[in-house]
Amino acid sequence: MRRCIEAHQAQITSVPSSFKWNGGVLDQAYAKCGQVTSEYAKTFYLGTQLMTPAQAKAVWAVYVWCRRTDELVDGPNASKITPKALDRWEERLEALFEGKPYDELDAALTDTIAKFPLHIQPFRDMIEGMRMDLVKSRYETFDELYEYCYRVAGTVALMCMPIMGVDPSYKGPLEPVYRAALALGTANQLTNILRDVGEDAYQRNRVYVPLDELEKYNIAEKEMLVGLHAPSTGEMDDRWRGFMGFQITRARQYFADAEAGVDLLSPAARWPVWSALILYRQILDAIERNDYDNFTKRAYVPKWRKMASLPVAYARSLLPKRP
């Protein structure tokens, strides 16, 4: 985080002048990034529609790189991915930061790096998160899980912070703003994990919730892998309800920790980020409405509820609370 803050403060961009992609080719690359984002991250994409065009394009480029990175270990060819493949992907990352993109999607990110002071470290850290997915499918404690959440989601927050920018009227240190961004990334990933418990267990044999916390609620791992429904009624086991209630409370606290930082963002960024925060937090509400059944039901926010949340987010963005 410190390196990101230093690059942000110094407005350091790292792409050399030899980078030659421009004009219509770059426009096409950004358009493709936007299409990918809209197809695979509908809630996230909705938030980018509230950004300035320059911010939206840059965030699309970051998202697409992150998605391609994640697809290495979770995509259709995941079984063929080796540590060496991730090494090659990291070499490709180094090249695009040096102004030598491999393809048009890489070029969009290289152009973004030339315009905004993004540091390479969060990108490297995300690749480390993919390395964790290659070798680790269980997390004993929340501390272990938090490290994973940072690598696969907190990193995204660090990547996007220089694009969002900070309110010019804020003269304080950047560390609280970046820590709040990390909290939002963590909250989003914890929400993903809670939404996808069944999918991760059934399709990938992965258990991301902390095993020691399952034990505190007297839940065996093997029970979780088959779903905790009461045999006689088909309803959710009370132990699972209690466990999920605890997990949701923690995720909501991370969202709350992020709120103060959103208020310190540039005026143009506050509405989209508030929208994303409010919309994503509502997935937790959806899990509760499903009676904590994240084994056979997928929690989602219906489109009408998303639309109804936008004015709320806009009003909140106009009334920032300052420390």
pLDDT digits (tens, 9 = 90+) for 108-146: 999 999 999 999 999 999 999 999 999 999 999 999 999
Predicted pLDDT of residue 320: 86
DSSP string, 155-197: HHHHHHHHHH-B-TT--S-SHHHHHHHHHHHHHHHHHHHHHTH
Tell me the C-alpha distance between 251 and 241, whole Å: 15
Distances (CA, A) of 191 to 122, 279, 283: 21, 11, 7
What's the predicted TM-score (pTM) here? 0.90
Mind listing the pLDDT tens digit for each residue in 200-231?
988 888 999 999 999 999 999 988 888 877 76
| Below-50 pLDDT ranges, the chain | none
Tell me the C-alpha distance between 62 and 121, whole Å: 14
Please give the structure tokens belonging to residue 14: 């790292």
Tell me the C-alpha distance between 246 and 221, whole Å: 17
For residue 262, which of 277, 248, 251 has the smallest C-alpha distance? 277
Sketch out the chain's domains with CATH numbers.
1-135 (1.10.600.10), 136-317 (1.10.600.10)
Contacts 24+ apart (CB under 8 A), 24-29: 25/104, 25/107, 26/107, 26/108, 26/111, 28/104, 29/61, 29/104, 29/105, 29/107, 29/108, 29/111
Predicted pLDDT of residue 17: 61
Predicted pLDDT of residue 47: 84
